Amino acid sequence: MIKYTCVAIIVAILLTSCYSTKAPAIKIGMSVEEFKKLAKYEQLVAMDQESCVYRVIYGIGANRAGYYYFEDNKFVRMDSEEDHEDYRISIDRR
């Protein structure tokens, strides 16, 4: 019985460690306070008198980021950054 309990705990830990984080479900016009309640890993990256930008990490392995733009305390738009591989291009000059 103890063996099955230990196996179940290990399986549960493995499953939750691979669990993906969802992007917050927000709507245009939502306030910053409402956004902060929905977003789990928000980080303030820019701010001035009338606007602010938050970065939120999400996806499997936290490999994506979304940038959420607020003006006058209201959500206006979102940009996303996905996990892209870097490519190098070599140019032969002859």
Encode pLDDT of 44-90 as tens digits: 998 988 899 999 887 766 677 889 999 999 999 988 875 444 455 56
Flag whether 7 is in a domain. Answer: no
Tokens of 88: 């190098």
Give the CATH number of the domain where residue 58 resides: 3.30.1450
* DSSP E strand stretches across 1-94: 42-47, 51-58, 64-71, 74-81
Flag whether 30 is in a domain. Answer: yes
Flag whether 46 is in a domain. Answer: yes
Flag whether 73 is in a domain. Answer: yes
| Owning domain of residue 36 | 21-81
Task: Using DSSP, state whether 66 is helix, strand or coil.
Answer: strand
Long-range contacts of 44-50 (CB under 8 A, 24+ apart): none
pTM for the complete prediction? 0.61
